[in-house]
């Protein structure tokens, strides 16, 4: 295949602050993780192989660094960088027009099947579902599933389509049912019918760290939202980015007091870990009311007038 190399192992090299506790190792989906409100959302490497070259399918690798993608990616995939593509200056969440332009240059249209894989795959999936994209799919777990299944990596970057005067993908505003704003979070504090769920590591929740890596640059106030319940993302995974079985997930959430009869707002640092937990709650456990606070701690902790607990 032109522009491809066979790689048995390619790991993402994190630069910057990240939204993880350590770099993911290769892993597979936990047996049984296939139920949920939309079974078509979860795909595997075989599904991707069957649809390579399909003009109606766009592969999107999401990561916090271009390192893994540059070394080799699934043929035809484009890269979305969680920092430079999905956030603006000062870590502000991406504006609607910027997201439209990103989709346009990625070759996406409202009728495209968008397939997300990689370290931040759940973030891309959640973001597009929040903007009401009809057909989004997710490869749960490490990108290494592709190589382990015999797939080849490519170093060829797809050429963006010819630019147009207007976006080829006019978006609607994100649904408040899935996308929680800072104002929504403020309104949830102290509300007995809502749960604020923090899925960061314990050192972040307790206020010992602002960034998950422990970096001390560009930091704000450390701590957590008042009254937030802590369920570190590692309790939901068997390995980096690999979700546990629905039974284990339900136990982890319910033992912490996260019940399905309340509105749940999930947050982390930049939204990546929160979107993984959102996927588990929404798609694997069928919790009816779950949203992600996309601003997450990078927004809340950098504000000067938001309440913080430690």
Same domain, 142 and 206: no
Same domain, 38 and 144: yes
Q: What is the DSSP letter of 2?
A: T
* CA atoms of 296 and 99, how far apart (whole Å): 18
Measure the CA angle with vertex 240, ends 234 and 242; round to 5°. Answer: 90
Predicted pLDDT at 10: 31
Query: Parallel, antiparallel, or unpaired for β 242-243 and 263-267?
Result: unpaired
Predicted pLDDT at 9: 30
Q: Is residue 309 part of a domain?
A: no
Q: Is residue 109 part of a domain?
A: yes
Contacts of residue 171, defined as CB under 8 A and 6 or more positions apart, other chains included, come to: 96, 99, 100, 103, 131
- For residue range 148-186, what is the model confidence (pLDDT) as tens digits? 999 999 999 999 888 765 557 999 999 999 999 999 999
Domain boundary among 139, 154, 169: 154
Q: Is residue 195 part of a domain?
A: yes
Q: Is residue 248 part of a domain?
A: yes
Q: Is residue 169 part of a domain?
A: no
Same domain, 136 and 187: no
* CA atoms of 169 and 97, how far apart (whole Å): 10
- For residue range 184-208, what is the model confidence (pLDDT) as tens digits? 999 999 999 999 999 999 999 999 9
Query: Parallel, antiparallel, or unpaired for β 263-267 and 194-198?
Result: parallel
If you average pLDDT over each of 32-36, 91-95, 292-296, which comes out highest?
292-296
Q: Read off the tokens for 36.
A: 């949920």
Instruction: State residue 216 phi and psi, 5-degree precision.
Output: -110, 5
Predicted pLDDT at 242: 83
Same domain, 88 and 20: yes
Binned at pLDDT 50, 70 and 90, residue 90 comes out as confident
Q: Is residue 267 part of a domain?
A: yes
Q: Is residue 254 part of a domain?
A: yes
Spell out the alpha helix ranges (H) of 76-201.
96-105, 121-130, 144-148, 182-188
Helix, strand or coil, per DSSP, at residue 180? strand
Predicted pLDDT at 276: 96
Binned at pLDDT 50, 70 and 90, residue 100 comes out as very high
Same domain, 96 and 210: no
Same domain, 149 and 216: no
HSE-CB for 284 with a 13 A CA cutoff: 28
Quote the radius of gyration of the chain (alpha carbons, Å): 18
Same domain, 260 and 202: yes
Binned at pLDDT 50, 70 and 90, residue 5 comes out as very low
Same domain, 90 and 24: yes
Same domain, 189 and 292: yes
Give the mean pLDDT of 255-273: 98
Q: Which domain, by its residues, includes 24?
A: 4-154
Predicted pLDDT at 297: 98
CATH code for the domain in which residue 267 is found: 3.40.250.10
C-alpha distances out from residue 242 to 154, 160, 276, Å: 24, 31, 9
Confidence (pTM): 0.89
- Overall domain count for the chain: 2
* CA atoms of 7 and 21, how far apart (whole Å): 25
- For residue range 33-69, what is the model confidence (pLDDT) as tens digits? 444 446 689 999 999 999 999 999 999 999 999 999 9
Q: Is residue 307 part of a domain?
A: no
Same domain, 146 and 12: yes
Q: Read off the tokens for 289.
A: 């009311």
């Amino acid at each position: 295949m032109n522009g491809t190399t066979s790689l048995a192992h390619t790991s993402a090299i994190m630069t910057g602050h990240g939204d993880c506790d350590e770099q993911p190792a290769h892993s597979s989906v936990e047996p049984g993780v296939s139920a949920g409100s939309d079974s078509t959302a979860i795909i595997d490497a075989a599904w991707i192989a069957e649809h390579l070259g399909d003009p109606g399918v766009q592969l999107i690798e999401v990561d916090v660094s271009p390192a893994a993608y540059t070394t080799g990616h699934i043929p035809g995939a484009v890269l979305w960088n969680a920092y430079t593509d999905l956030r603006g200056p000062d870590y502000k969440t991406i504006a609607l027009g910027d997201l439209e332009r990103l989709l346009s240059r990625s070759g996406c249209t409202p009728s495209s099947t968008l397939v997300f894989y990689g370290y931040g795959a759940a973030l891309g999936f959640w973001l597009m579902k929040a903007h009401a994209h009809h057909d989004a799919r997710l490869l749960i777990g490490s990108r290494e599933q592709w190589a382990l299944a015999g797939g080849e990596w490519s170093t060829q970057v797809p050429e963006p389509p010819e630019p147009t005067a207007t976006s080829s993908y006019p978006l609607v505003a994100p649904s408040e049912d899935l996308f929680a704003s800072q104002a929504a979070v403020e309104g949830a504090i102290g509300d007995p019918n809502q749960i604020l769920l923090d899925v960061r590591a314990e050192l972040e929740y307790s206020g010992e760290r602002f960034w998950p890596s422990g970096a001390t640059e560009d930091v704000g106030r450390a701590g957590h939202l008042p009254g937030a319940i802590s369920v570190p993302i590692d309790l939901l995974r068997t390995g980096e980015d690999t979700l546990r079985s629905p039974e284990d997930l339900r136990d982890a959430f319910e033992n912490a007091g996260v019940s399905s009869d309340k509105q749940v707002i999930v947050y982390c640092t930049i939204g990546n870990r929160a979107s993984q937990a959102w996927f588990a709650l929404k798609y694997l456990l069928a919790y009816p009311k779950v949203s992600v606070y996309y601003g997450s701690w990078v927004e809340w902790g950098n504000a000067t007038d938001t309440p913080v607990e430690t």
